[in-house]
Chain A
């Protein structure tokens, strides 16, 4: 049975339809890349899964449990750990406080998050607002892990970061995949990095999932047409 089941998702922003027909599955321990050009509905899909946007129609289940009528915090309690785009920290709290505020019992605790991102341990008592962009992104990933999710959703987690910091984050994602077997949904534009960590990919075009498969089946022509690479 798949961990996340999304079928024919349709989402509106007011009168404008943003998602028409998005369908995919994620299995336990699988890393899925959600790709597409800008404005094709990737972030909208993530927000819809996390119940931050109302679904107009479609099926959305996490481990067999219907998510469609749940508020956002209940979906997160069931095991969705979101890393939203734009480094959404709690600026007035320290690094440790950001993590403690999110903590739920399970494998991930402050020690394990610090081991994954040693920089966070070094900046433990520093206010989150004083961290660099990369450190803030590490903090947001750490905070999502502290909720001990079953599925981690990374929405443009490396966008706008320096190449060396991006590499640190990709390395942490690879560690997560290798050592914990956590299921991950990644939205990103870096095809090379996605190819290295993801098992499969789903491509969105104009609010529809138009292709799904392993990276070896993704031709150059498709990459150019659908992703612009």
Chain B
């Protein structure tokens, strides 16, 4: 077995090495694939805080991914058409600035997670799954029926948004931005795991009643985790929309929520780098097997089945063994 810390380092180096090699080799499409991996992994890291640490199986996390995407799409579309977003009670203009868009995406997603969490977290188990799914579908159908921002056809953004000092149209520089966001989210998740809050959340996952006896509210712990999780997933949505320069209601779809869960299961639920491995495997399979068959997800399903049955700790668990105590 390889120590998980070493494995995580190797995964991070691999995440950097592939696009750098592609950049040196003049293969921009590979860089775009690596960027997609980084963004989807970021969404997975977001969900992993709620699912892996808090035990919250959310089948509606695409809501936050979509909200982040639409935050970007709406702000950028107003900036490119020079039509203000609102004029009363005060003027709100669109923007093409990534930091501003990210801030809006994170705040909007966090607020949505707070509202949804306040309702959903009063339930547990299958009811929690169903209510989060219902919220996902509500947002999905709302986006479809919102013609102002493209409705079912979605919304195209002609030029990628800007980041001070960088050329975001250069694939390797945009990858660098997405990788930095992923690294920051992984760092945050790593800090959370060992923090008193993370330990209490983990304890609440194991036994809510015991957590109450030490003076902690499982509901508040879970709500906080859900909000952090939603905010990170929202940031991933904004980056994803910028990668494709396109947003559509499919960003809210329950299939996407399911895919984010699949990343985590493939890599290892609760394992820090689980979503990174899962997203990398997903994108690789999509690219490689998708060239042979449009039914490539059959193979993904078989792999998922094998991981669930044979490798309960996901692929990370298969290589690194059982999760070690956090020293």
Binding site for B on A (CB under 8 A): 50, 52, 71-74, 76-77, 82, 84, 88, 90-94, 97-98, 100-104, 125-127, 143-144, 146-147
Contact = CB atoms under 8 A, between A and B. Distances in A.
A101 B213 CA distance: 12
Contacts of B217: 71, 73
Interface of B: 196, 199-200, 202-203, 206-207, 209-217, 325-327
A125 B327 CA distance: 6
A52 B207 contact: no
B206 A91 contact: yes
Given A94-B326, A101-B202, A102-B215, 9 more contacts: A73-B213, A73-B215, A88-B213, A90-B207, A97-B199, A100-B196, A103-B196, A126-B325, A146-B214
Contact of B196 (A82, A88, A101): A101
B229 to A, nearest CB: 19
B214 A76 contact: yes
Contacts of B210: 84, 88, 90
A76 B206 contact: no
A126 B211 CA distance: 20
16 contacts: A72-B213, A73-B211, A73-B215, A74-B215, A76-B216, A88-B207, A88-B213, A90-B203, A91-B206, A93-B203, A97-B202, A100-B196, A101-B199, A101-B203, A102-B216, A144-B213
Nearest to A90: B203
Nearest to A47: B213
A167 to B, nearest CB: 26
A130 B60 CA distance: 37
Of residues A94, A98, A102, A126, which shows the largest number of chain B Cβ atoms within 10 Å of its Cβ?
A102
Contacts of B325: 93-94, 97, 125-127
Contact of B202 (A52, A82, A92): A92
